[in-house]
Structure 1
Amino acid sequence: MSQGPLLDINSPLSADQAQRLNEALAGLNTDQMTWLSGYLAGLTAQGETAAHSPQAASEPTAPEIVVLYGSQTGNAEGVAEQAKESAKARGFPVRLVDMADINKKEFKEPLNLMVIVSTQGDGEPPDTAEGFHEFMHGRKAPKLDERTRFSVLALGDSSYEHYCQTGKEFDARLETLGASRLHDRVDCDVDYEEDAERWIEAVLDRYAELSGGTSQANQAQPATTVATPQESVYSKKNPFHAEVLESVVLNGRGSDKETHHIELSLEGSGLSYEPGDAIGIVPQNDPAYVDELIDKLRMDANCDLGDGRCLRDALLTEYEVTTLTRPFLEHWAEVSDAAELRRLMDQESRDELRDWIGGRHIIDVIEHFPVEQIDAETLTKALRKLPPRLYSIASSYQADPDEVHLTVGIVRYEAHGRSRGGVTTTYLADRVRPGDSVPIYVDRNKNFKLPQDDDTPIIMVGPGTGIAPFRAFLQERDERDAQGRNWLFFGDRRFRSDFLYQSELLNYRKRGLLNRLDVAFSRDQAGKVYVQDRMRENAGALFAWLQEGAHFYVCGDGERMAADVHRALIDIVREEGDLDEEGATEYVRELQQAKRYQRDVY
């Protein structure tokens, strides 16, 4: 009796599967058909045995990991992406979540958290994490249990008093709410990469142990970070040596400030950037300062450190030898055994220590608390690596892809009987000339970007060197023929000597690219006037722009200016929006979470 062809109506197969199987069977003889039927029966039996075996039933499942991050300049986000890729390579289901996007519902079920967060300013959370930070530390915070596991990686700068404060607060709060700490918190200084990588692997090892130690999570190799071609070639560890094309002082005669416009060549580098990104400069310490330091320590400048390195060269290019950090002070208190320094390091002397540190450098500590004899290894162990300094890019890649421009305020001051200067700014101003080269790399900042929609209006507040990224914004919008309106608030000390990029800005205003330009020169009248004062004077128009979807940007001094502008913005929203203080604060926070209010402050 002949068997008709397989169809989707007389078999569990789809029409396509039935057709392909009919074609495969058509060319087989009887012996081949018999062998095939036995082979298929064997496959079926093997599948059923595996499905019912005790081992299959008990095979552990790798837990889902939530990589939760809060980032201001992009460093924490970069580490979070690295953690995600490492988790994926080990076989974990993984989600990457910005603190700006997480909500209370996420905590209704147990979570496996890897928390990565930076600290900015005076121990504050990143702007986009502010709402989540307040929620977790408030009365509405979720009640967690031990099934929610976590570990925190905190990014910070040990030269600040509240080093890694936000990470410390999240770490303590998650435990207080009932979650289980899977791995101890790790606090990272400015050279965070190696510590972050070790933390990622250690935490993933712990999650692998929880999955029974036999899942794919234990068997796979850690992920290799994938970078774009230019990033794989030039980076913080392998910078591009860019030729200095031009370095000119922007301030006019009579100014008490020194601001340089610096143009660097990118020709042949393959590097690219976007408005809002920064250039990292790998500097050198002042040779005169290094020589004085070595002399005060009565050390041999040519002392061999191994690998062909001598002490003087290492202090010039490898180590931070000016900025005071708590780890250095703690180390020096131990080395010097100075009772006064140990007293200053006590918790009760925190305010006194802060006042004493103000304006002082490492050389001052060595003078005040001398050590009779110290070897090179002991000294270098007390020092952190010399970190690159970041400068907001002041040009558009679209306008000139072979160059990058910077606006650098040179730091010079007198303190405690000594002339002092910024490490990188004096390096650029005093020891680098056109024709010389400077080691650089591009530092991406995903949290300070132009709107994707070129029709979106933008408001920019950039006094002093804070003008830098907004010069780039305007060049970029000019190149793209963007139709969105542009409003700039600029401020400095004096109109005649400190109106940075004056001719360019006035030309943009004349052409209509810059729809509004409001300036504040604090020393040109009896009462000081700042950018936040100009904002208040234009409160109605500013709020109207926000209501129409404008993005609001601030760049510059983070110690005072940014806080004053933030306060002014809340006041404007409260008054013009007829809101109370809580409502105005929430309005501004929503702007931050929607990334319509972005800050690049330092």
Structure 2
Amino acid sequence: MMLTIDPLRWGGALALSGAWLAMCLNIWRVRLAQARTAHAHADWLVVHASQTGSAEFLAERTAATLALGGLNARAACMSTLDAATLQASPRILFICSTYGEGDAPDTGARFAGETMGALPDLSHLHYAVLALGDATYASYCGFGRALDAWLGARGATPLFERIDVDRGAPTALAEWQHHVGRLAGTSDAPDWEAPAYGEWRIVRRELMNPGSLGAPLYRLALVPSSGILPVWEAGDLAQVSPPVDPEHPREYSIASLPEEGSLGLMVRLQRRADGSPGVASGWLCSDAQEGDTIRLRVRAHARFRLGGNARRPLIAIGNGSGLAGLRALLKARIDAGERRNWLLFGERNAEHDFLCRDELQTWQDGSKLERLDLAFSRDGGEARYVQHLLLAQGEVLRRWVAEGAAIYVCGSLQGMAGGVHEALQTLLGADVVERLMEDGRYRRDVY
């Protein structure tokens, strides 16, 4: 039997392979450049490991305060901190979030897995740790505490005791700022306070999944009582301080753009073990009546904004209320004329849980959403989730990534985000996934 070779098919395969190799080489060059940047001399290094931007914000303020006192200081992402930089730095202030159940955030995953797995002598290092967390989790400030213990075990000397921060508690942040001010020899540092809360009211509330087997999910539109909308970008968050528990704000992905005239949220009604509604979701989804107001502020989420990915093809992956953040990203790109958009979305049942069905189908019909892949796990047969969509479209995924695509994931941490991460590692390789993350082309907003 004679073997025939189709030149067009082989040419396409070679072109794709070449693009894939070029992409890998480019990512490697970016990673090398980041490592070189991390070696730039600074007497004081302020290292942040951030998931939603809080640690990065505080690191920048910390470095600015040290610089105000005349010290040579700079902020750096933990993804650029390697063993060599650790050995060469005399003083490092660490500001670290905890992700999931005690894990390092995405930007600290490599450091936690590789550098903290080694046994370097750090007796030359003076350090301090600000650990950000949520006391409702069993592993409260888990990564910050683990980092502090590891540094101490390796011989590093603490400048002052670790400070744990529960959901941005002002007293703990003020204590950190006090210590930093003393290190800088200045007491006139600018205020670090986040923007003040404003009074907002709900102008529209719609049940998105009537008849669903899952908990009710509502789409809400809110406006400030002042009538003046603040400025935000796709990817940013809304912090809501519910009336019955104002000291512990809840964060939600913003589902709209300012040009749409209101701040959009997608909120699932949560219930406690005793069946009572969640404090924030209960008020937003059912308790609030016409004229009632709630305290809300917008918080920039730099790591989930489009930023340098605005002109790249976008692969948006999510489930449930995670569609809120993805919807804003897609809307921003569509409004800007970008049409290389691919959404992979999962929910329970197509009849009741196909969120934003009309809008998504309109975008697809108008060639504004190039691909729309859906997984509904309760529609009979074997359960099918978002990660299964990825595995089934492996060749397409590799092609998009080779063409420069960025990957944004929004939704549940348990199940979806982990499954998607494993699928990406299977299809692209763990090293490529790590480099995409370090390059800012793989970003996650998961909870």
Give the whole-Å Cα distance in 1 for the aligned partners of 2:60 and 2:156.
24
CA distance in 2, matches of 1:258, 1:391: 16
Matches within 5 A, 1:70-81: 70-81=49-60
Q: Deviations over 1:220-255 (max 9, x none)?
A: 32311378xxx6xxx3xx321122110010113355
Please state if 1:404 is matched with 2:362: no
Alignment of 1:218-237 (within 5 A): 218=185, 220-225=186-191, 235=195
**Structure 1 residues 434 and 594: alpha-carbon distance in aligned structure 2, compared to 1, 3 A threshold:** farther
The match for 2:7 is none
- Structure 2 residue corresponding to 1:189, chosen from 150, 166, 181: 166
1:177 aligns with 2:135: no
CA contact (8 A) 2:240 2:295 kept: yes
Whichever residue aligns with residue 102 of structure 1, its letter is: L
Confirm or deny: 8 A CA contact 1:407 1:468 kept in the other structure: yes
Q: Distance in 1 between matches of 2:189 and 2:424?
A: 44
Q: Choose from 243, 249, 262 the match for 2:220.
A: 262
Would the aligned equivalents of 2:203 and 2:222 in 1 still touch at CA under 8 Å?
Answer: yes
Q: Does 1:547 align with 2:402?
A: yes
Q: 8 Å contact 2:212–2:349 — kept in the other structure?
A: no
Q: C-alpha offsets along residues 313-354 of structure 1, whole Å, 9 cap, x if unaligned?
A: xxxx45xxxxxxxxxxxxxxxxxxxxxxxxxxxxxxxxxxxx
The letter of the residue matching 2:249 is P
TM-score w.r.t. length of structure 1: 0.64
Match of 2:445 in 1: 600
CA distance in 2, matches of 1:181, 1:170: 12
Alpha carbons 2:229, 2:262 under 8 Å: kept: no
* Other-structure match for 2:388: 533
**Superposition pairs of residues 76-475 of structure 1, within 5 angstroms:** 76-139=55-118, 142-145=120-123, 147-205=124-182, 207=183, 217-218=184-185, 220-225=186-191, 235=195, 238-253=196-211, 255-266=213-224, 268-285=227-244, 317-318=245-246, 386-397=247-258, 399-400=259-260, 402-412=261-271, 415=273, 418-475=274-331
Contact persistence 2:83–2:115 (CA under 8 A) = no
> 1:476: which partner in 2?
332
Secondary structure at the aligned position of 1:197 is classed as: helix
SS of equivalent residue, structure 1 residue 122 = coil
Tell me which amino acid in the other structure corresponds to 1:264. L
Kindly state the Cα deviation for residue 474 of structure 1 after the two structures are TM-superposed: 1.6
Please name the residue that 1:516 is paired with.
371
**2:302 alignment partner, SS class:** coil
- 2: CA distance between counterparts of 1:112 and 1:388? 33
Report matched runs for 1:554-569 at 5 Å: 554-569=409-424
Which amino acid in 2 is paired with 1:275? A
Q: Is contact 2:394–2:427 with CA below 8 Å preserved after alignment?
A: yes
Q: Give the Cα–Cα distance (whole angstroms) in 2 for the partners of residues 193 and 590 of structure 1.
A: 35
- The offset of 1:434, in angstroms, is 4.3
- Tell me, what secondary structure is at the counterpart of 1:241? strand
Q: Single out whichever of 93-102 and 263-272 deviates more from structure 2.
A: 263-272
CA distance in 2, matches of 1:190, 1:136: 28
Tell me the amino acid that sits aligned with residue 188 of structure 2: P
Q: CA RMSD in A?
A: 2.0
Report the more deviating stretch, 178-187 or 388-397. 178-187
Do the aligned residues in 2 keep the contact of 1:252 with 1:497 (CA within 8 Å)?
yes
Letter in 2 for 1:138: G
Closer, same or farther: CA 454–69 of 1 in aligned 2, 3 Å: closer
In the TM superposition, residue 420 of structure 1 has moved relative to its aligned partner by: 2.3
CA contact (8 A) 1:151 1:203 kept: no
Range 543-552 or range 451-460, more displaced: 451-460
Is this contact kept in 2: 1:245–1:435, CA < 8 A? no
Whose strand fraction is larger, Structure 1's or Structure 2's? 2
Q: Rate the CA distance shift 1:570–1:221 in 2: closer, same or farther, 3 A.
A: same
2 CA distance for matches of 1:223 and 1:192? Answer: 19
Q: How far is the alpha carbon of 1:118 from its aligned partner? A: 0.7
Aligned CA distance change for structure 1 residues 95 and 546 (closer, same or farther; 3 Å)? same
Conserved? CA contact 1:65–1:95, under 8 Å: yes
How big is each residue's C-alpha offset from its partner over 1:538-581, in whole Å with a ceiling of 9 and x where there is no partner? 111112211222111111111222111111111122xxxxxxxx
Q: Distance in 2 between matches of 1:281 and 1:546?
A: 36
What is the identity, as a one-letter code, of the residue corresponding to 2:276? R
Shift of 1:107: 3.0
Shift of residue 111 of structure 1? 1.6
User: Secondary structure in 2 aligned to 1:100?
Assistant: helix
Aligned residues: 405
Deviation at 1:156, TM superposition (A): 0.8
Tell whether 2:358 aligns with 1:503: yes
Distance 2:218 2:79 in 1: 36
Percent identity between matched residues is 32
Cα pair 1:80 1:116 within 8 Å, conserved: yes
Cα distance in 1, alignment partners of residues 120 and 290 from structure 2: 58
Gaps of 5+ in 1: 1-62, 208-216, 286-316, 319-385, 574-583
Task: Provide the secondary structure at the position in 2 that maps to 1:420.
Answer: coil
Please report the TM-score for the alignment, with normalisation by the length of structure 2.
0.86
Distance in 2 between the 1:258 and 1:454 partners?
Answer: 33
Amino acid in structure 2 at the alignment position of 1:100: S
Q: How big is the shift at 1:473?
A: 1.1
